[in-house]
Amino acid sequence: MDIVLPFDSTMDIVLSFDSTMDIVLPFDSTMDIVLSFDSTMDIVLPFDSTMDIVLPFYSTMDIVLPFYSTMDIVLSLTSPWTLFSILTPPWTLLSHLTPHGHLSPF
What per-residue confidence (pLDDT) applies to 54? 52
Alpha-carbon distance of 71 to 6, in angstroms, equals 18
- pLDDT tens for the chain, residues 1 to 106: 444 444 455 555 544 445 555 555 544 555 555 554 455 555 555 445 555 555 544 455 555 444 444 554 444 444 444 444 433 344 444 433 334 433 433 3
Alpha-carbon distance of 51 to 72, in angstroms, equals 6
Number of Cβ within a 10 Å radius of residue 50: 16
Asked whether the beta carbons of 22 and 4 are under 8 A apart, the reply is no
What per-residue confidence (pLDDT) applies to 16? 46
Of 5, 13, 3, the C-alpha closest to 46 is 5
Asked whether the beta carbons of 102 and 82 are under 8 A apart, the reply is no
Q: pTM for the complete prediction?
A: 0.21
